[in-house]
Structure 1
Amino acid sequence: MNKILLHVEGAAVLILSLYLYSSFQFSWLLFFVLLLAPDISMIGYLINQKVGAILYNIVHTYSLAIFIIMSGVLISSSMLVAFGLILSAHIGMDRMLGYGLKYPSSFKDTHLGRV
């Protein structure tokens, strides 16, 4: 049941991010070009499991997305707001599909279960 709630939460974040992105009338070309960019953080796995998990988890937390959005609001940077919304959409999409934060034991071990 908890796992289902986390998937639903991810879908809700994705939908809200898409709605806000659309409301601000940001570029959809930018959105689709950058939607998968956060997965570049998987490059840490080339070093080792622990570094990979840490780097991946830092990039894939809602806290970072919220920080970027709030920074954009505070300094009136629409580009930062757009980047933050794209990141939150990416994270929501990942969670909706069952990809969670990584454990250092294996790339497939996540807080949502084994992928």
Structure 2
Amino acid sequence: MEPRLLLRAEGLAVALAAIAAYYAAGGPLWLFAVLALAPDLSMVGYLAGAHAGSRLYNAVHTYLGPLALGAVGVGLAVPPLQWIALVWAAHIGVDRAVGYGLKYPTGFGDTHLSADADRRPGADVPDDPVASAVTGDD
């Protein structure tokens, strides 16, 4: 299966698991609705340029943030922190499932899930990586 499709399926799985966990944890529906698009506020970083925008967007759209927040919420037994982490993870999962990936500093539309991501300059992958490693050809 193509890597982009696997990443999208993985995102869907994470989104569904986070939503199920949120429901199981008793998180209020209104909070989910309010926070569902909150991570997209990080797009405001693009006002400072594509490089700064991509860095801020990517920082907010990786699973590291919700995992850390969720761990703190579990460790301190603070359910609202757990709920926020689950909504955040669900948001990222949905983004991945529909094809929104982490951004390259070349522009908002350039992502690791873009159809042309494997044709980016400097991201060329040889047809036969083993043969290329042996012969030194790229």
* TM-score, normalisation: structure 1: 0.97
Between the aligned partners of 2:104 and 2:72, the Cα distance in structure 1 is 29
Residue 105 (structure 1) shift: 0.3
Residue 76 (structure 1) shift: 1.2
1:29 aligns with 2:30: yes
2:98 paired residue number: 97
1:29-108 aligned at under 5 Å gives the runs 29-108=30-109
Stretches (4+) displaced over 6 A: none
Residue 114 (structure 1) shift: 5.2
Contact (CA 8 Å) 1:26, 1:82: kept in 2 or not? yes
Residue 75 (structure 1) shift: 1.1
Gaps of 5+ in 2: 117-138
Between the aligned partners of 2:90 and 2:15, the Cα distance in structure 1 is 5
1:16 paired residue number: 17
Letter in 2 for 1:52: G
Considering Cα pairs closer than 8 Å and 6+ residues apart, tell me whether 1 or 2 has the greater RCO: 1
Describe the shift of the 1:114–1:102 C-alpha distance in structure 2 as closer, same or farther (beyond 3 A). Answer: farther
Question: Deviations 1:4-25 (Å, cap 9, x if unpaired)?
Answer: 1011000000000011001011
Describe the shift of the 1:114–1:45 C-alpha distance in structure 2 as closer, same or farther (beyond 3 A). Answer: farther
The alignment yields a C-alpha RMSD, in angstroms, of 1.1
* TM-score, normalisation: structure 2: 0.81
Between the aligned partners of 1:106 and 1:114, the Cα distance in structure 2 is 14
Q: Percent identity?
A: 43
Equivalent residue pairs, number? 115
Higher fraction of strand: 1
Gaps of 5+ in 1: none
Higher fraction of helix: 1
Secondary structure of 2:108's counterpart equals strand
